[in-house]
Structure 1
Amino acid sequence: MTAGQLLPGSDMLGACSSGSRPAPMRDALPPLSCLRAFEAAARYCSFTQAGSELNLSQSAVSRQIKRLEHDLGRLLFERHPEGMRLTPTGERYFRVVQRLLRDLADETARLRRRSDDRQLTLASSPTIASIWLARQLPAFQRAHPHLEIRILTVEDPHRLDLAEFDLGIYYHVPGEVDPPDLDAEPIFAQETVGAVCSPAYLERHGRPITPEALLTEHTLMVVEDHYHDWLTWEIWFRDQGLAWHPPHHALRANSFQLLMNATLAGQGVTLGWMRLLEAEFEQGNLVQALPLTLPSRGRLSLFTPQHRHLTEPMKAFYQWVLGRAN
């Protein structure tokens, strides 16, 4: 767009500028609701899933798409035996709409934030935020006292809204757990997973002599969470060539944070990341129940939204956390 041109529908620009200019076309842009419905439907290739995300019925999404297609005079979707598919026109339009909506969401979130030039919003799981991140932040704040930190806890990074945070800290399994539109960079170069418990638990129940004893004589903490399916007791046993069978005693929950708190309270044995829990080991809150460890498939990683210009607070934390951890 050259100097002096107006965005379609920019009545305010025309009203505020001096001199006479051609009136903008009010109907040049389709309704925002239609664009949101189209972007979600194109991303999922499903009106039903788009409706679920937007809290609309499948028929409401369908009506929005038809309205948009009528406005454009082009078909955006076509049906095939294997399901719905974008037309070539729809694919081109989707790329443009997705980019514009993302930029609009990012800029809107930026303008809504207080003290934007000083605020840094970090997204993380409740467990990582409470056990690791909260212990690291004091040193960062001493190095950058002018910055304001805001922490957003979301268990599953797939549920993150890219407009709500600046950087994320999660465990990442390359090729398996890749949240969309995020780049992941490992914070720890190497990490292992071990069976951990509190000293108080060992005092009451004794240290397991063998892995088999762990399954028969002790309470194992079992997380029921699809995002952590890559880290299970069965995998930990089998990958070390150990015999596996379901534990005789287990405490199950869909929250890893809850199970970790229960472990610290002396209620059982859980799988834990050695680097993540370093402070707990150093302070004597946790010990290894068995001397066996397994290289972690997932790495604690820094998530950076793609297509996002890094602010000064983002750059400062990016350089600090990767340099400090490694």
Structure 2
Amino acid sequence: MRDALPPLSCLRAFEAAARHRSFTQAGSELSLSQSAISRQIKRLEDDLGRPLFERHYDGLRLTPAGEHYFRVVQRLLRELRTESARLRRRGDDRQLTLASSPTIASIWLARQLPDFQYAHPDIEIRILTVEDPHRLDLAEFDLGIYYHVPREVDPPGLSADAIFKHEDVAAVCSPIYLERHGNIADPQDLLMRHTLMVVEDHYHDWLTWELWYRSLGLDWQPPTHTLRANSFQLLMNATLAGQGVTLGWTNLLAAEFEQGNLVKALPLALPSKGKLSLLTPRRRHLTEPMRIFRQWVLDSA
């Protein structure tokens, strides 16, 4: 039937490809191969009887028809996600979905939740891990827990309440690392003789090793040894395993310090301009589980 709707899978592939201007990035987002996205787009173009993309040497461009169709499809998919999430919440109004970064979820949130679940056994918790809060879909979660830096790490549509009123950032490592490599004499010794863990992620660029040094009035030069990764969680796990020294938020890592898994590599700390915060969608009716968790986490901190 010519008036039949295109398959939802084709529409999702088209929306992601049009948004990224890339079949490869669309495939990464949807957990599909580049060729699978290409086939979905071809199927949609055949169904509509007109091209939606122009293939250029420097990437994809939408045709005029594709531009118009993209706006329509994006709006409809967004409304469909929002309404589906609303109905799911109404169908299970005791479920609470918390969004957080993998690091915060594993190091801090997972340690806090047993106390909350003991106090509120009727609330079912679901955790959604997304590294960059700017990539959050407001329809997919109830509350978020991220480091919030006003005007820098400030996701749209969310209000932020600080969980920690004050937070310091220190150079941290495991006792295992110091046993293997010896104590760190001073900031210059750290740069010259030790391994600095460096996260290659634009979301964490608001505090780099260079900025930490310069903000404390210390001389900076590129470190002799680094271990780099695009995941802060991976680097934190490597730090706990004794592979190097990383920048760590002292309140976030309080349990690791108390258990002796981490120590300060230097007796220096920089007040953090980012604070661990509870993020709440502004235009969302607060369910009872949302209100209960908000009150609990802010009071607990």
If the TM-score is normalised by the length of the shorter chain, which range does it land in?
Answer: 0.7 to 0.9
Question: Which of 261, 279, 289 is the equivalent residue of 1:303?
Answer: 279
Superposed CA offset, 1:67-100 (max 9, x none): xxxxxxxxxxxxxxxxx9xxxxxxxx9xx97995
Superposed CA offset, 1:34-65 (max 9, x none): x999x999x99xxxx999989999xx99xx9x
2:157 matches 1:182: yes
2:205 matches 1:247: no
| Paired residue secondary structure (1:260) | helix
Q: How many residues align?
A: 293
TM-score by length of 1: 0.70
Q: Which residue pairs with 2:183 in the alignment? A: 207
Q: Which residue pairs with 1:264 in the alignment? A: 240
* Equivalent-residue separation in structure 1 for 2:26 and 2:233 (angstroms): 31
Q: Which protein shows a greater Rg?
A: 1
5+ long unaligned stretches in structure 2: 45-61, 63-71
Superposed CA offset, 1:14-42 (max 9, x none): xxxxxxxxxxxxx9xxxx99x999x999x
Q: Which residue pairs with 1:156 in the alignment? A: 132
* Equivalent-residue separation in structure 2 for 1:272 and 1:53 (angstroms): 29
Q: One-letter code of the match for 1:197?
A: C
Contact map agreement 1:195 1:271 (CA 8 A) in 2: yes
- Of all paired residues, the percent bearing the same amino acid is 73
* Equivalent-residue separation in structure 2 for 1:102 and 1:151 (angstroms): 18
Cα 1:53–1:263 change in 2 (3 A) is: closer
Q: Which residue pairs with 1:88 in the alignment? A: none
Cα 1:182–1:302 change in 2 (3 A) is: farther
Q: Which residue pairs with 1:216 in the alignment? A: 192
Alpha-carbon distance, 1:184 to partner:
3.5
* Equivalent-residue separation in structure 1 for 2:113 and 2:86 (angstroms): 26
| Paired residue secondary structure (2:108) | helix
By relative contact order (CA 8 Å, sep 6+), the higher-ranking structure is 2
Contact map agreement 1:182 1:303 (CA 8 A) in 2: no
Cα 1:105–1:40 change in 2 (3 A) is: farther
Q: One-letter code of the match for 2:123?
A: L
* Equivalent-residue separation in structure 2 for 1:163 and 1:147 (angstroms): 19
Answer with 98-107 or 252-261: which moved more.
Answer: 98-107
2:89 matches 1:110: yes
Contact map agreement 1:172 1:184 (CA 8 A) in 2: no
Question: Which structure 2 residues correspond to residues 66-77 of structure 1 after superposition, within 5 A?
Answer: none
Contact map agreement 2:196 2:245 (CA 8 A) in 1: yes
Contact map agreement 2:164 2:276 (CA 8 A) in 1: yes
Q: Which residue pairs with 1:233 in the alignment? A: 209
Q: One-letter code of the match for 1:149?
A: I
